[in-house]
Amino acid sequence: MRHRRVISFSANTVKSTFKPLNQKAKTMNVVILAAGVGKRMRSDLPKVLHPLAGKPLLAHVIDAARRLAPHRIVVVYGHGGETVRKAMAGDDLHWALQEPQLGTGHAVMQALPHLDRDVPTLVLYGDVPLVPHDTLVGLTKAAGADKLGLLTVDLADPDGYGRIVRDGDRIVRVVEHRDADAATRAIREINTGMLIAPTALLARWLAALSNENSQKEYYLTDIVAAAVHDGVQVVSAKPAEPWEVLGVNSKRQLAELERIFQHRLAATLMDEGVRLADPARLDVRGELVCGRDVSIDVNCVFEGRVILEDGASVGANCVLRDTRVGAGAQILPFTYTENSSIGARARIGPYARLRPGTELGEETHVGNFVEMKNTRMAAKSKANHLSYLGDTVVGERVNIGAGTITCNYDGANKYQTIIEDDAFIGSDTQLVAPVRVGRGATLGAGTTLTRDAPENRLTVSRVPQTTVESWKRPVKKATRKG
């Protein structure tokens, strides 16, 4: 199979699976501020753990930090406490508790004991998940090792953001919106909060911060005026697009960033040759690998790692999680798959469910309302209607009739059913595991199989058909009124 491209979500951009920068060139600390309450989310879940494209906001930012191959990553946490720490795995993460939360400057103060004073420190935010790698690299290059670098952006509507105040081209201070006068509020260049500074100087500036402001908080942005006072050059870098620095403060904003992410990913997929029926109705919550001439209908969700080989098609309203789909296979509408492998030219659905451990061979058919779990089905076998196959091995060219069930569970233990090549299973059959159906065997409709069925023979378990002359259909008893 010739793969066109690996499409994956990392920190926030849609691009090929990355390799970190030179592991030996660890030239900075990264501090990620993730202690906020997030009141406007109106949720018991800490804001930084709300999912974007299938993983927490904070995980996107940590991935962005890791791509920079820093000397150290420090996450400042507070609201949510150990819930946040447990959700973010990684031996490379250092944690600093901010309690109480007294502003962004106070948050960075908590990280200082973990920082190497000989390299600069980059400050990121756990609720700003889409900033691309290239933008962060641009900021670090602009600042070098001895300047204070700010990531700024021009907004048509800067309401609510801190303003960048300049004297000519020189940045002289940042004024928070709530503390700004009318003239300052007219400025459209705003502070994103992301910055990089020499760590030794950063520590000195933080120690001198005051909370004499409307919020009685220690603003990280006040270090700009301190840098100017000390004669340290303050420089800026800007993202390519304003959405790169958007933060999440509400469920509405979270949904807006989700659509931005998915729209960009959809555009990349189409540029790589994938046919999307409607790019606005696609959700990739993991990694997607697409071959040539792949087509995806509307409202499909891809979770974990999904591989669609050459010529595969996915119908409307499907959910595929950690699944490989072979070349030329068709996934028909309303199909759900998880931890499954589907062979070339197979036909699955509509309304099929493949649970973990399902492996389907070439040209297999799994039809409507068929459920499979931990089942291997070899080439050209089919189960087209209304069946359950659990813990089952199915050979080649087997026909599974409608209503067939493998009874694999006795209430305490699971058992296996084996159906050998060329067997024919009649409709409404129950196979009570452990049991084996021999090669070429036929099970008559309505059979309950409790012992092995021999090869090339017809096995039937039915009582003779009887008509009970005296039987009458029950009638509903009349209910007494009052």
**pLDDT tens digits along 289-346:** 999 999 999 999 999 999 999 999 999 999 999 999 999 999 999 999 999 999 999 9
Q: Tens digits of per-residue pLDDT, 186-216?
A: 999 999 999 999 999 999 999 999 998 878 8
Q: What tokens does 259 get? A: 């659509």
Report the range of poorest mean pLDDT among 20-34, 242-256, 401-415, 434-448: 20-34
Residue carrying the six token digits 């000989």: 118
| Entry pTM | 0.86
Tell me what pLDDT residue 25 has: 53
Tell me what pLDDT residue 67 has: 96
Give the burial string for 242-276 (b: 16+ CB within 10 Å, else e).
ebbbbbbbeeeebeebbebbbebbbebbeeeebeb
Residue spans per domain, the chain = 17-245, 251-459
Report the range of poorest mean pLDDT among 72-76, 212-216, 337-341, 353-357: 212-216
User: Hey, what amino acid is at 278?
Assistant: D
Q: How far apart are CA 125 and CA 34, in angstroms?
A: 6
- Asked if residue 442 has pLDDT above 80, the reply is yes
Superfamily name and number for 251-459: Hexapeptide repeat proteins (2.160.10.10)
- Average pLDDT on 169-177 reads 91
Tell me what pLDDT residue 23 has: 46
Domain 17-245 in CATH 3.90.550.10? The answer is yes
Tally Cβ neighbours within 10 Å of residue 159.
Answer: 8
Report the range of poorest mean pLDDT among 165-179, 348-362, 440-454: 165-179
The mean pLDDT of the chain is 92
Residues with a known catalytic role: 385
Burial of 416 (0-12, 13-18, 19+ CB in 10 A): middle
Q: How far apart are CA 187 and CA 166, in angstroms?
A: 10
